């Protein structure tokens, strides 16, 4: 029997639609032409110039530092939220779930504006701390959802088994719950890290004057026009986030 | 120790003797053969038969038939035994324990004593409270009222990790992130026992469960039967005083279940500690347990040896839940002599029953007769005072391999009868649908229930027919006798 080619063609077309722009960007980062219209030879020149641009490294440093702190905070909060959502039965639980889930569906720009208004109302100086707080607020939801997914598969009889075998609550948590949930928690943390690293919209609102992160930096570079450098930077960023997401997926899969 | 497991469960030949046990010894020391099914075979095969009763050697019976052998099948003797509490059942004590979930009474004022070394089974449908009772002993549930004692010590408020009790969980709850070896070592490791000591113990356990070659495997790499063995080893390495088994065979398929039953029995013989086995499967409970507590709606309906539970059910629930039964409702028409009553039951002429309850004329009774106790035949059987004989019409015939089940109609009643297959039956002209047949059962095989509850009729194949069905019943059928 002849199989139809249509599914294959459609699949390839969709993939091309998604990834062709990214591929062009990656390709252009090695293109000697300044405007990327035509291929005028392979070069690592843009990367070299990128290395020599201190303001970019400064921005990258800021971004990573913010991401690390925000990841740590949101991992702890998100994991505890997931436990609370999974373990306790209460009439308020639906509302709790909605509150944790909401940042995933609220438009980022809304979140950014409301956070900005909130900080202004509190007369908090905008700067790195406000960025971290803002990142934690939306990363918590992602961590909570990932960990909650793992918790729903978790067999609580294992904790009873541990207690039955002489472990107190603390030991059971350390020897049974934590090792089994670690992949889920790590996956949530990596996801939070990725989101924090490439967040632009919210950061844009809550960043103070003079504070900059990599996405903000890229935005201003586009405005002031140095496309080849952005291509190179974007390619590096892409590599970083893809690796993180790939790692988190692998961890989740391994845990299954 | 030599242990000869019967290949087919029936014939064991042996040079010396066969031991019949009423209850098992604390530890097996000598060479002998255990024998549980069919004393008659023991009498045929063995030169001598020793009778063991509650760990003490009572009788040495030269072959062939001993006094005990004749007795064990006598339903009458069984029923006349006083139902006194077990002599040594104070190792574990539930004192008037209750547990409520909202308005649901999971466990309702249960008092129960279990002996040291006993293989005890809690049997009942789901939601009857058996698991809650078990979890109270393990420490996962606290009773609302009452006390739980272990070896004289009140453990009601002791957390699970401080009880000398270990559990085999329903799906074993083995730790998936640890190897077989690490799973077994969990208890002693948590107890901070010296490393070398732990390693030695684990090695011994691995040998015991024959899993040395699989010690480093992960839990998802071993089979269901192996998982159960690991769960047993993981529990026993802590040297508990009591092992709790929460439906441990439910996850296994039929053949494996039968094999694991035998393994559990062997383990119990080897370690000699108290086993408490929770199950909804009557076969499992009957085949393993020294005593069974049948539970329903948070209460113990009946407590006794498996043979007592089956042959002499006290309530309609026990009779309907364990195996199957035919139920008749009637009144005592006449007290014939010291042992027999004549019953008046609609649709039947005269039915006699063994009067072990001292009933008087006019009292309402519920009679239970097991399907396999009734003989079915085309030809009119010899009638005698010992037998009830009646006619019936075949409604349906169901061939089930080991036996055939007949659904019959006798007047207003529908009855179930089971017939084993053997040469005689096969050579006979088979009984078919719509045939008119004779039914006969021994007077002693009809058993009068002490309590009857209408709600148990949901469990019955055929509930007894009521006079004027649909009219208001003249009197409450529940609690036929107080």
So what's the pLDDT on residue B338?
A: 80
SS3 A78: helix
* A11-16 mean pLDDT: 94
B316-459, which class in CATH? Answer: mainly beta
Flag if A180 and B186 touch (Cβ within 8 Å). Answer: no
Beta bridge partners of B95: B147
Share of chain B above pLDDT 70, in %: 77
User: What's the 3-state SS for chain B?
Assistant: CCCCCCCCCCCCCCCCEEEEECCCCCCCCCCCCEECCCHHHHHHHCCEEEEEECCEEEEEEECCCCHHHHHHCCHHHHHHCCCCCCCCCCCEEEEEEEEEECCEEEEEEEEEEECCCCEEEEECCCCCCHHHHHHHHHCCCCCCEEEEEECCEECCCCCHHHCCEEEECCCCCCCCCCEHHHHHHHHHHHCCCCHHHHHHHHHHHHHHCCCHHHCCCEHHHCCHHHHHHHHHHHHHCCCCCEEEEECCCCCCCHHHHHHHHHHHHHHHHHHCCEEEEEECCHHHHHHHCCEEEEEECCEEEEEECHHHHHHCCCEHHHHHHCCCCEEEEEEEEEECCCCEEEEECCCCCCEEEECCCCCCCCCEEEEEECHHHCEEECCCCCCCCCEEEEEEEEEEEEECCCEEEEEEEECCEEEEEEEECCHHHHHCCCCCCCCEEEEEEEHHHEEECCECCHHHHHHCCCCCCCCCCCCCCCCCCCCCCC
pLDDT in tens, B414-440: 999 999 887 666 667 788 888 999 999
Q: In angstroms, rounded to a whole number, what is the distance separating the alpha carbons of residues B118 and B243?
A: 11
Statement: residue B7 has pLDDT above 80: no
- According to the model, what pLDDT value does residue B103 have? 86
* Chain A, nearest residue to B243 by Cα: A164
The whole-number average pLDDT for the span A67-82 is 95
Nearest to B122 by CA among B254, B274, B1: B274
Residues of A in contact with B238 (CB under 8 A): 165-166
Question: CATH says B92-311 is which class?
Answer: alpha beta
pLDDT score of B81 more than 80: no
| CB–CB contact A155 B238 (8 Å) | no
Residue B140 has pLDDT above 90, yes or no: yes
Average pLDDT, rounded, for chain A: 88
Q: Answer yes or no: is pLDDT of B135 > 50.
A: yes
Residue A190 clears pLDDT 50, i.e. is over it: yes
- Judged by a CB distance cut-off of 8 A, whether residue B3 touches chain A is no
Residues of chain B neighbouring A168 (CB-CB closer than 8 A) = 159, 161
Among A204-208, B2-6, B342-346, the least confident range:
B2-6
A13 pLDDT above the threshold of 90: yes
Cα–Cα distance between A179 and A186 in angstroms, integer?
11
Residue owning tokens 């994991």: A79
Closest-CA residue of chain A to B173: A158
Q: Which of B140, B177, B187 sits opposite A165 (nearest CB)?
A: B187
Residue B70's pLDDT band (boundaries 50, 70, 90)? very low
- Distance from C-alpha of A61 to C-alpha of A67, rounded to nearest angstrom: 10
Predicted confidence at residue A183, as pLDDT, reads 87
The pLDDT assigned to B67 comes to 32
pLDDT at A236: 85
| Pairwise CA distance, residues A228 & A237, whole Å | 14
For residues B427 and B440, give the distance between their C-alpha atoms in angstroms, rounded to a whole number. 20
Instruction: Name the DSSP class of A209.
Output: T
The set of residues, in sequence order, having a beta carbon less than 8 Å from that of A212 and lying 6+ positions away, is A55, A58, A59, A62, A220
Report chain A residues whose CB lies below 8 A from the CB of B162: 166
Domain ranges for chain B, please list them. Answer: 17-73, 92-311, 316-459
Measured between beta carbons, the chain B residues lying within 8 angstroms of A150 are: none
What interface predicted TM-score (ipTM) does this complex get? 0.72
When the pLDDT of each residue in chain B is averaged and rounded to a whole number, the result is: 79
* Chain A CB within 8 Å of residue B170 CB: yes
CA nearest to A254 within chain B: B177
Task: State the smallest CA–CA distance between residue B161 and chain A in angstroms.
Answer: 4
Helix H or strand E segment including A180: helix A178-197
Give the orientation angle of helix A178-197 with respect to helix A128-152, to 10 degrees: 140
CB contact under 8 A, B169 and A171: no
Measured CA to CA, the distance from residue B28 to residue B390 in angstroms comes to 50
Q: What is the pLDDT of residue B427?
A: 65
**Prediction pTM value:** 0.74
Contacts for B305-310: CB closer than 8 Å, 24+ residues apart: B307/B72, B307/B78, B308/B78, B308/B81, B310/B286, B310/B370
> What would the pLDDT profile of A139-152 be if each residue is shown by its tens digit?
999 999 999 999 98
- Among chain A residues, the shortest Cα distance to B235 is held by A165
pLDDT of residue B16 exceeding 50? no
Unique residue bearing structure tokens 């960990």: A147
What does the pLDDT read at residue A135? Answer: 95
Cβ atoms of residues A194 and A11 within 8 Å: no
Percent of chain B with pLDDT over 90: 45
Would you place residue B477 in the very low, low, confident or very high pLDDT band (cuts 50, 70, 90)? Answer: very low
CA–CA separation, B283 vs B420, rounded Å? 18
Among B355-359, B376-380, B422-426, the range with the most confident prediction by mean pLDDT is B376-380
Whether domain A48-255 has CATH 1.10.3720.10: the reply is yes
Mean pLDDT value of segment B153-176: 93
The answer to whether B133 touches B141, Cβ cutoff 8 Å, is no
- Are B238 and A161 in contact (CB < 8 Å)? no
| B138–A164 CB contact, under 8 Å | yes
């Amino acid at each position: 029997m002849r199989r139809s080619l249509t599914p294959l063609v459609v699949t390839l077309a969709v993939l091309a639609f998604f990834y062709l722009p990214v591929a062009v960007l990656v390709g252009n980062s090695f293109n000697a032409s300044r405007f990327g219209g035509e291929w005028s030879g392979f070069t690592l020149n843009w990367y070299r110039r990128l290395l020599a641009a201190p303001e970019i490294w400064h921005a990258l440093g800021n971004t990573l530092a913010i991401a690390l702190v925000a990841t740590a905070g949101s991992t702890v909060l998100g994991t505890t939220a997931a436990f609370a959502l999974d373990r306790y039965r209460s009439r308020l639980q639906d509302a709790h779930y909605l509150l944790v889930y909401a940042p995933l569906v609220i438009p980022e720009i809304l979140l950014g504006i409301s956070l900005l208004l909130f900080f202004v109302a509190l007369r908090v100086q905008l700067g790195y701390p406000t960025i971290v707080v803002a990142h934690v607020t939306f990363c918590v939801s992602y961590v909570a959802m990932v960990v909650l997914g793992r918790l729903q598969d978790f067999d609580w009889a294992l904790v009873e088994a541990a207690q039955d075998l002489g472990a107190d609550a603390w030991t059971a948590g350390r020897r049974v719950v934590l090792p089994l949930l670690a992949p889920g928690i790590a996956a949530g943390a990596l996801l939070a890290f990725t989101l924090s690293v490439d967040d632009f919209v919210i950061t844009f609102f809550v960043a103070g004057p003079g504070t900059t992160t990599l996405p903000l930096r890229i935005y201003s570079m586009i405005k002031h026009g140095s496309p080849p450098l952005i291509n190179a930077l974007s390619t590096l960023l892409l590599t970083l986030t893809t690796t993180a997401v790939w790692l988190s997926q692998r961890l989740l899969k391994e845990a299954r | 120790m030599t242990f000869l497991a019967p290949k087919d469960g029936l014939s064991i030949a042996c040079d010396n003797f066969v031991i019949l046990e009423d209850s098992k010894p604390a530890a097996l020391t000598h060479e002998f053969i255990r024998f549980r099914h069919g004393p008659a075979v023991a009498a045929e095969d063995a030169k001598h038969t020793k009778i063991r009763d509650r760990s003490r050697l009572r009788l040495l019976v030269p072959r062939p038939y001993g006094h005990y052998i004749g007795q064990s099948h006598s339903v009458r003797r069984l029923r006349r035994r006083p139902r006194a509490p077990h002599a040594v059942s104070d190792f574990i004590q539930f004192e008037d324990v209750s547990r409520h979930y909202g308005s649901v009474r999971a466990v309702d004022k249960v008092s129960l004593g279990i002996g040291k070394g006993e293989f005890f089974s809690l049997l009942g449908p789901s939601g009857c409270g058996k698991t809650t009772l078990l979890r109270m002993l393990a420490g996962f549930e606290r009773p609302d009222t009452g006390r739980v004692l272990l070896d004289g010590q009140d453990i009601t408020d002791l957390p699970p990790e401080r009880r000398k009790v270990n559990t085999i969980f329903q799906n074993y709850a083995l730790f998936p992130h640890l190897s077989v070896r690490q799973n077994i070592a969990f208890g002693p490791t948590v107890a901070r026992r010296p490393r070398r000591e732990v390693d030695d113990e684990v090695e011994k356990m691995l040998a015991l469960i024959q899993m040395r070659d699989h010690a480093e495997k992960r839990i998802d790499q071993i089979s269901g039967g192996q998982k159960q063995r690991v769960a047993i080893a993981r529990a026993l390495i802590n040297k508990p005083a009591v092992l709790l088994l929460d439906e441990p065979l439910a996850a296994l398929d039929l053949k494996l279940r039968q094999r694991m039953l035998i393994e559990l029995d062997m383990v119990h013989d080897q370690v000699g500690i108290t086993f408490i086995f929770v199950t909804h499967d009557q076969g499992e409970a009957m085949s393993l347990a020294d005593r069974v507590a049948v539970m329903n709606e948070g209460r113990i309906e009946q407590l006794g040896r498996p043979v007592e539970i089956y042959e002499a059910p006290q309530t309609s629930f026990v009779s309907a839940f364990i195996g199957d039964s035919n139920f008749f409702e009637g009144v005592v028409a006449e007290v014939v002599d010291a042992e027999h009553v004549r019953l008046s039951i609609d649709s039947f002429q005269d039915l006699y029953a063994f009067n072990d309850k001292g009933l008087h004329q006019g009292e309402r009774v519920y009679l239970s007769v097991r399907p396999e106790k009734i003989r079915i035949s085309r030809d009119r059987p010899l009638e005698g005072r010992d037998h009830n004989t009646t006619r019936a019409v075949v409604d349906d015939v169901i061939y089930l391999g080991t036996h055939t089940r007949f659904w019959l109609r006798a007047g207003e009643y529908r009855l179930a009868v089971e017939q084993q297959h053997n040469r005689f039956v096969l050579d006979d002209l088979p009984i078919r649908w719509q045939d008119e047949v004779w039914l006969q059962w021994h007077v002693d095989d009809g058993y009068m229930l002490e309590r009857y509850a209408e709600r148990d009729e949901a469990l019955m194949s055929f509930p007894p027919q009521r006079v004027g069905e649909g009219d208001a019943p003249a009197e409450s059928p529940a609690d036929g006798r107080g």
